[in-house]
Chain A
């Protein structure tokens, strides 16, 4: 079993491998087999060449739109990001105002309290991933084996994931209303006199946002887990039942180890997803109060599109890129080491 986005990484490494080997082989061929090639009759060679050329042209035409799109929209901009990270430049100023400042932007980042806070918040936010996974796997086992109306449950728990984050954020904003919101009214009626003011309180704002993020993500993890569970052979459970194993024993010794590739996938994609959280912050808290919910992407957005500091924002983008890149590499190494197949 192999996950799609892990598949992308593995495919990449295989290609690197292939290209390296192929390069060596071609060099060898050029040296050794040259005389043999000459023996092929001219006619055959000509025909073969024309077929090969046709294949090349066809191939190029099929992949050209994607290639151009990806180069213009992703490849060129990311290269530009790495270059601009070493510049001091404002949006409104012309290109002639651009100054090269070396590593100054990165040095400034270290002293930038909001940036440091963003990195810390990003790190704390990663906690949402294991919590989501635990809830999701318990639900997945229950829905997969112990209930009627499976389809209803899948749809119900998937609803937050499919809904627009903007609308969800607006709803939760009202639910979290400090004095009159339904959540605090319920808490007060239960006898809690001073319930937290949630997104208005710097100490609770990040937790509130994390709770909503978990609520949104559960559906996705659930669907993936159910798919993972269905690939476990039924015979394993039947054999365990014959030996008198209880539900917990089966879960601990059969289910958990066998869904470990799924868990691993969810862990990695979940962590990468936390680095991309933007809508929720933008609509719900705008990074506040007192920068308590600022995150890397939000800080990047504010620096670039509100403060218009392009160079500095690019430096943040480079850091963001490096974080995600590092996780992707760790994912590939970890895939080999920790996952039981």
Chain B
């Protein structure tokens, strides 16, 4: 078939699917348009997809600099998500290298212990975790939150698959040249698996950013709240002001959406890889 020629059947299916996708995204479109409206126009019917009376500036100003200032929670969320991602990537890639490229007798046993913890649903260990963190002084602190998200079995397992793909000859050659494991890890192995680490980093960032349960349980002080927790508190306080709630929701979703659209290929490949390994 000629490539420049448009397949008519395909075009029609594309258009139909496109309308389905718009219908699928209507809640987002409604959220966005409501966040620009004045309160009185929220429930007008038929639905005004384009606001007639604009109030965007004032709505977003209230969300970002009002009683529950989102700029503060943004900063908290960025701090927690970035640090969690950094620590988690470091810990996971170190462990992944150790479990794949260093041969030591206890290795299998230790890997077994790490893998076994994957069977535990996170909520099943929640209560003792809370007791432990409280006694260690990690309750109500960002450090505690960061530690909670930093030890990912799935991350270690995923990166280990990639380290195992590095040929042993390469490692052996470096050893003969007198390089130690640390040097091999840093100069040879890590650069090879860098794309995998980047994919894992994006996923970890998204998961941490969207996490609601851990902040809810492990944070108490208002000024430490992450964006998800603040979003929920903001809703409870401003329950009658739907435009403000939608402006807050847009604010909570948008930055991650941008990260996602930029890193789209990596996220989708990462998710697919997490599910299906060829």
Contact = CB atoms under 8 A, between A and B. Distances in A.
Interface of A: 1-5, 7-8, 11-12, 15-16, 18-19, 22, 52, 55-56, 58-63, 65-67, 69-78, 80-81, 84, 139, 142-143, 146-149, 151-159, 162-168, 170-172, 174-175, 177, 180-182, 185-186, 189, 215, 218, 220, 223-224, 226-228, 231, 261-262, 265-266, 269, 272, 275-276, 278-279, 282-283, 297, 300-301, 304-305, 310, 313-314, 317-318, 320-321, 324-325, 328
A325 B119 contact: yes
A2 B34 CA distance: 45
Among A2, A78, A297, A300, the one with the most B-chain Cβ atoms within 10 Å of its Cβ is: A78
B192 interface: no
B180 A73 contact: no
B258 to A, nearest CB: 11
Complex A-B, nearest 8 residue pairs according to Cβ-Cβ distance, in ascending order: A62-B98, A69-B151, A59-B104, A66-B95, A227-B272, A80-B128, A77-B125, A77-B128
B71 to A, nearest CB: 17
B146 to A, nearest CB: 11
A3 B277 contact: yes
Contacts of B25: 156, 159
B127 interface: yes
Contacts of A78: 117, 120, 124-125, 128
20 contacts: A1-B276, A4-B154, A55-B181, A56-B104, A58-B180, A61-B98, A63-B111, A73-B129, A74-B151, A76-B132, A77-B127, A84-B128, A155-B264, A162-B260, A162-B267, A167-B228, A170-B249, A177-B43, A275-B121, A305-B217
A226 B94 contact: no
A167 B252 contact: yes
A328 B43 CA distance: 46
B128 A164 contact: no
A193 to B, nearest CB: 16
B139 interface: no
B256 A163 contact: yes
Nearest to B98: A62
A267 B18 CA distance: 27
Contacts of A139: 17
Contact of B95 (A11, A62, A227): A62
Nearest to B273: A4
Given A157-B24, A171-B27, A320-B124, A67 B110 contact: yes
A328 B118 CA distance: 10
Interface residues of B, number: 108
Given A59-B103, A227-B276, A317 B124 contact: yes
B50 interface: no
Nearest to B269: A227
B45 A185 contact: yes
Contacts of B245: 170, 174
A221 to B, nearest CB: 9
Given A143-B17, A321-B121, A70 B102 contact: no
A154 B261 CA distance: 11
Interface in B3-27: 9-11, 13-14, 17-18, 21, 24-25, 27
Chain A interface secondary structure, helix, strand, loop or mixed?
helix
A279 B158 CA distance: 26
B187 to A, nearest CB: 15
A276 B264 contact: no
Contact of B30 (A77, A149, A182): A182
Nearest to B264: A155
Contacts of A272: 121
A175 B30 contact: yes
Given A77-B132, A180-B43, A62 B213 contact: no
A55 B102 CA distance: 6
A334 to B, nearest CB: 16
A171 B250 CA distance: 10
B275 A69 contact: no
Contact of B157 (A4, A276, A314, A321): A4
A211 B98 CA distance: 44
Contacts of A227: 272-273, 275-276
Nearest to B149: A73
A49 B153 CA distance: 32
Nearest to B228: A166
A167 B151 contact: no
B248 to A, nearest CB: 8
A145 B275 CA distance: 21
Given A4-B154, A156-B21, A180-B43, A65 B95 contact: yes
A208 B119 CA distance: 30
Contacts of B125: 73-74, 77-78, 80-81, 317
Contacts of A320: 121, 123-124
A164 B234 CA distance: 15
Contact of A148 (B10, B124, B253): B10
Contacts of B278: 1, 231
B17 A142 contact: yes
A317 to B, nearest CB: 4
Interface in B118-150: 118-132, 147-148, 150
B113 interface: yes
A170 B115 CA distance: 36
